[in-house]
Amino acid sequence: MIGHDFLEETAHHNALLQVHPFTKLFLGIGSIILVLLTPNYIVPCFLAITLSIIIIVLAKINLKFYLKLLGIPLSFAMLSALVIIFLSEGVTEIWYVQLFPWLTLAATSESLNQGLHIFSRIFGGMCALFFISLTTPMTDLFGIMKKLKIPELFIDLSMIIYRYIFIFMEKASQIFLAQKMRLGYTRPGEAVRSYSMLFGSIFITSWDAGEDLINAMDGRCYNGKHAKITSYNPVEWRTLSAVMIYLFIITGMILWTSG
């Protein structure tokens, strides 16, 4: 299982850490927008492959880890694409099989194109999203949010919520392992009872952790605002220009394939 803390640790140790976060966000968000605008499945696949090369070669993210991470959403995307292919209507039938007298699965050229389009969009979008999450720590994202003049209250709430994700997952993992060692999930009845106790314990421990956080903030003279470090290396125009050229090429491919 891949945890959020491990993703954050990977983001803090990637080879593109010193690149200005604005440049990385420009590439990631621009790629997501282009994936949503493309009318075919060729461009999203090309974008996904090139972004994966950037993640593995330039950011030096472990290939096995990246493939394991990418396999989680793509497995759901593949199932969704198969449902679309076999259940959507079309004119040109290319394959069918009758499983039961009342159930026939058929694939048409129209449903196949639609399913591949959906799968490629998810593929390209997830690669762009993983590029952001694996190369840009959340602290950098909060700093960019501050520079974009996003309200301080929203940023502070985001920071607290993000922090509590780790607390929530750590507490849940500890309690679950303790219950499992005590054979709390051997029978369905015991599993239901263990899950109910797990949720109740998580709520109580999370509430206590929140109270401790408030007391700690008050003890450090909290005045309603969190200190945020926003010092970065200056934007390298050579890197930013390369990103702009890349997105311009993808835009040209969209216009060429759609024409």
pLDDT tens readout for residues 200-239: 887 787 777 777 777 777 777 666 665 555 566 677 888 8
Query: What letter represents residue 140's amino acid?
Result: D
Average pLDDT on 145-154 reads 82
| Strand ranges, E, within 6-111 | 93-100, 103-108
pLDDT score recorded for residue 51: 94
Give the phi and the psi of residue 105 in degrees, each rounded to 5.
Answer: -100, 125
Backbone angles phi, psi at 2, to 5 degrees: -100, 120
Residue 49: the pLDDT is: 93
Q: Cα separation of 6 and 120, whole Å?
A: 27
Q: Please count the other Cβ atoms lying within 10 Å of the Cβ belonging to residue 248.
A: 11
Record the tokens describing residue 180, joined without a space: 């499992």
Least confident of 43-52, 132-141, 187-196: 187-196
- 106's CB contacts (< 8 A; 6+ apart) are 86, 93, 95, 96, 97
Q: Is the pLDDT of residue 1 over 50?
A: no
Per-residue model confidence as pLDDT tens digits over 171-180:
788 888 888 8
Tens-digit pLDDT profile for residues 6-16:
677 888 888 88
* Cα atoms in the 13 Å half-sphere on the side-chain side of 107: 14
The percent of residues above 70 in pLDDT, for the chain, comes to 86
Q: What is the pTM of this model?
A: 0.77
Query: Which position has the token pair 């301080």?
Result: 152
d(CA 123, CA 101): 36
